[in-house]
Amino acid sequence: MLRIFALLVLLAFGFAQEVTVLTHSSFSLDKGLIARFERETGLKLRFLKGGDAGETLNRAILTKGAPIADVIYGFDNTFLSRALEADILLPYRSPEIQNLKATLLLDPTFRALPVDYGWVSLNYDRAYFKDRPLPKAPADLARPEYARLLVVQNPATSSPGLAFLMATVARFGEDGYLDFWAKLRDGGVRVAKGWSEAYYTHFTLYKGDRPLVVSYTTSPAAEVYYSEGKYQEPPTGNLFPELAFFQVEFVGILKGTKNLEGAKKVVDWLLSKSVQENLPTEMWMYPARRDAKLPEVFRFAPEPLGSVRMDPRAMAQNRERWIEEWTKVVLQGQSPEAVRQGRR
């Protein structure tokens, strides 16, 4: 009763505090959950979408001295070291940590807490390939007849784009991955800025001209879920589990927040069971909590066997170089050999 009275007093005097959450453009949660959080805490949530995950993190880094938000959500394990090295986050040992899967706690300083995880994967349009052969191995993607059917994301701005780049490094090796990408370039691969552009503009399922797209292993399940009964089976499928990249998305409190206690409440809320069980059908990722139940539609999103799980240290040490080399080969047209020589 006292808690409710205190909240009413705060609201009556106009003291309801706002907490701004900087997120990637794919962020989505049930509006009822958001409204209930605001009622129970007396806080007002404002969601600021900063583009793809890489762009969102860059905005937080560039505004380090005067943060534009209190909390940041959506940067992943490919960008984790960048976030930590930029020193933009405050440590916070949420009481919900005990409920999270231990394998997802990748930051021992507790500045970045895992919210969800999944796999970046290559999707294909089943209708397009109904009477056409699919590529049989990852290397086949670089053949002209498949390269011109593929859309990927720029790894400099897109977390799935970076994840797919790292998967090709793991698959083809430090030297071979550049040759693979040079063949993709020459074969006509299309590069989109981010996931939304690649999937909703260029993918044939949405009237684009590319039946192969870098997306997520959960995308086929999402298509069934949103079809309102149109699809009993997914219209898309996943290719090559050996190119699926394990991704973890994090939340953190930004240094300089003007509402630290409110920011902590937001983090706890994102890790709560109610939000965690809403995530799968809102952001199509797996919940980080051990006790969160998956929706029935996730039977169409099995975890891929043999997927890529790259050492965080290797990602931290090589990420910027891989992005730079990819840019030189794919966007600037340099030869792989010239780029390799530049390493020396």
Cα angle 201, 58, 178; round to 5: 65
- The tens digit of pLDDT for each residue in 154-167 reads 999 888 999 999 99
Q: Give residue 12's identity as a one-letter amino acid code.
A: A
- DSSP character string of 232-267: SS-SEEEE-GGG-EEEEEEEEEETT-S-HHHHHHHH
pLDDT at site 14:
42
What confidence score (pLDDT) does residue 10 get? 46
Give Cα 171 to chain centroid, integer Å: 21
Nearest to 77 by CA among 315, 332, 322: 315
Residues 6+ apart with CB under 8 A from 54: 79, 155, 156, 157, 158, 159, 162
Q: What is the mean pLDDT of residues 187-203?
A: 96
Which of 9 and 273 is assigned the larger pLDDT?
273
What is the tens place of the pLDDT at every residue in 20-50?
999 998 899 999 999 999 999 999 999 999 9
Q: Beta partners for 252?
A: 72
Mean pLDDT of 123-148: 98
CA distances from 126 to 134, 147, 263 (A): 10, 17, 44
pLDDT at 116 over 50: yes
Using one digit for the tens of pLDDT, what is the confidence trace for 224-239?
Answer: 999 999 999 999 999 9
Check if the beta carbon of residue 251 is closer than 8 Å to that of residue 270: yes
Mean pLDDT of 243-251: 96
pLDDT of residue 51: 83
- pLDDT value at position 153? 96
User: Is residue 12 very low, low, confident or very high in pLDDT (cuts 50, 70, 90)?
Assistant: very low
Quick check: 249 and 79 in contact, CB under 8 A? Answer: no
Portion of the chain with pLDDT greater than 90, in percent: 86
pLDDT confidence bin for 3, thresholds 50/70/90: low
For residue 343, what pLDDT is reported? Answer: 84
Confidence of residue 11 (pLDDT cuts 50, 70, 90): very low
Average pLDDT of the residues of the chain: 93
pLDDT at 157: 85
Residue 259 has pLDDT above 80, yes or no: yes
Other CB atoms closer than 10 Å to residue 227's CB: what's the count?
12
Q: How confident is the model at residue 152 (pLDDT cuts 50, 70, 90)?
A: very high
In the three-class reduction of DSSP (H, G, I as helix; E, B as strand; rest coil), residue 216 is classed as: strand
User: Could you give the CA distance from residue 60 to residue 93 in angstroms, rounded to a whole number?
Assistant: 21
**Does residue 149 have a pLDDT over 70?**
yes
Residue 122 has which token pair?
Answer: 């290559």
pLDDT value, residue 320: 93
Confidence of residue 105 (pLDDT cuts 50, 70, 90): very high
Mean pLDDT in residue range 97-106: 97
Q: What is the pLDDT of residue 316?
A: 87
Q: Using the predicted structure, report yes or no on whether residue 187 has a pLDDT greater than 50.
A: yes
The angle at the Cα of 288, spanning 284 to 293, to the nearest 5 degrees, equals 70
Per DSSP, the three-state class of 128 is: coil
Q: Which residues have a Cβ under 8 Å from the Cβ of 260 and sit 6 or more positions away?
A: 70, 90, 253
